[in-house]
């Protein structure tokens, strides 16, 4: 829960909102096949289960004094430039979150958990 206090009162924004917002943004980026779920994130490569619709299971948002810390776990397509994908995700997520919520994003960490051909 992220809490914003101003002269008009207090606003609470749930982590589910951020996860959904960021999840849909990430999935719309070129080269991203989906957001990794818990089994892929923990390194257990038993199945290739991921969410294409941007459910936000692989997205974590924490509030810190200087802004928001965002962790994103993704699955990319084989043969795509990972550096370009990560830079694209960071730029797009930064813009979308700051535009939608007027909160500063301090850091965005993108973890590539799997590559699927």
Q: Kindly list the domain boundaries of the chain, sorted by start residue.
A: 2-116
- The mean pLDDT of 28-53, rounded to a whole number, is 65
Q: Considering only CA atoms, which of 6, 79, 82, 98 is closest in space to residue 108?
A: 98
Superfamily of domain 2-116: Cation efflux protein, cytoplasmic domain (3.30.70.1350)
User: pLDDT of 65-85, one tens digit each?
Assistant: 878 999 999 999 999 999 999
Q: What is the pTM of this model?
A: 0.81
How many helices and strands in the chain, by DSSP H and E?
3, 7
Q: Considering only CA atoms, which of 30, 4, 7 is closest in space to residue 18?
A: 4
Is the pLDDT at 26 greater than 80? The verdict is yes
């Amino acid at each position: 829960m992220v809490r914003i206090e101003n002269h008009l009162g207090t606003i609470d924004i749930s982590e589910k909102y951020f996860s959904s917002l960021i999840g849909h943004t990430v999935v719309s980026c070129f080269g991203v096949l989906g957001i990794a779920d818990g089994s892929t994130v923990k390194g257990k490569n038993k199945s290739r289960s991921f969410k294409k619709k941007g459910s936000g299971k692989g997205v974590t948002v924490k509030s810190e004094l200087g802004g928001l810390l965002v962790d994103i776990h993704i699955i990319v397509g084989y043969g795509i430039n990972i550096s370009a994908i990560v830079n694209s995700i960071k730029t797009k997520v930064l813009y979308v979150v700051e535009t939608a919520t007027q909160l500063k994003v301090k850091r965005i960490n993108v973890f590539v958990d799997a590559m699927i051909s």
